[in-house]
Amino acid sequence: IMLSPFTPHVAEEMWEITGHTTLLAEEKWPEVDESALKVEEIEIPVQVNGKVRGKITIPADANEETVREFALSNEKIKKYTEGKNIVKFIYVKGRLVNIVVK
């Protein structure tokens, strides 16, 4: 159906080969399932002093405190932050985390 506006003849042939008996031009256009568009989890990179050191998977609607917990509990990130003073924790919502340590 999606190919039909661009190559109607080819799309009709493919439609017929797949076993349909009606004309493709008479079919209804597909409708969007809004629930399928919702993202529940996202994966974002975690930087330590500006270098990507790992990735974390967080809920899409997570606040900064939740993201901080996820980032600091990640084993790869712990390796770079353990025993060091966290000067700044930067969270760009849905994009990245940057942890500045000394």
CATH of the domain at 94: 3.10.20.590
Q: How many Cα atoms within 13 Å fall on the side-chain side of residue 76?
A: 12
The pLDDT score that the predictor gives to residue 90 is 97
Does 36 map to a domain? no
* Same domain, residue pair 48 and 95: yes
Average the pLDDT over 69-77 and give the result. Answer: 96
What value does the mean pLDDT of the chain take?
A: 94
Q: Where are the beta strands (DSSP E) in the chain?
A: 41-48, 51-59, 86-92, 96-101
The pLDDT score that the predictor gives to residue 76 is 95
As given in the structure block, the two tokens for residue 100 are 């500045």
* Same domain, residue pair 45 and 6: no
As given in the structure block, the two tokens for residue 75 are 């084993």
As given in the structure block, the two tokens for residue 101 are 């340590």
Name the strands in the sheet holding 51-59, side by side, starting at the edge strand that comes first in the sequence.
51-59, 41-48, 96-101, 86-92
Look at the chain and count its residues.
102
The pLDDT score that the predictor gives to residue 14 is 94
